[in-house]
Amino acid sequence: MTLEWEQVVVDAADPVALGRWWAEALGWVVVGEESDEFEIRPEPERLPGLLFVPVPEGKTVKNRLHLDFRPDDQEAEVIRLLALGARTADVGQGEESWVVLMDPEGNEFCVLRSRRP
């Protein structure tokens, strides 16, 4: 048996707006654009993708699953994401080497430090 990771599904109040935000943040392409399913991928045929779907309820607690990103320059990337509309988040992380941010709908994600010295 073989499994292929197709996508991560993200619940959203506004799937199109949130999907467009993530496409801009990641530099990914839109591969599906419906009002009830909005999908982005790194490239049209490359997996995995992110699929944004509508839900009636808003986010109320910390995510059970979140994404981590490792940029070349953590400080520059955090500044860029904040300029796009991300917000800083305090999930009790304390003093760590990563920065916790939230997307426009409050989903947490981490920006790790660069692997370069």
DSSP string of 26-87, one letter each residue: HT-EEEEE-SS-EEEESSTT-S-EEEEEE-SSPP-S--SS-EEE--S-HHHHHHHHHHHT-E
Fold (CATH) for 1-56: 2,3-Dihydroxybiphenyl 1,2-Dioxygenase; domain 1 (3.10.180)
Q: What confidence tens digit (pLDDT) does each residue in 8-63 have?
A: 999 999 999 999 999 999 999 999 998 799 999 999 999 999 999 999 888 887 77
pTM: 0.89
In CATH terms, are 1-56 and 65-117 the same topology?
Answer: yes
> 65-117: which CATH number, 3.50.50.60, 3.30.450.20, 3.90.1640.10, 3.10.180.10?
3.10.180.10
Q: How do the domains of the chain map onto residue ranges? A: 1-56, 65-117
Beta strand pairing call for 67-69 and 87-88 = unpaired
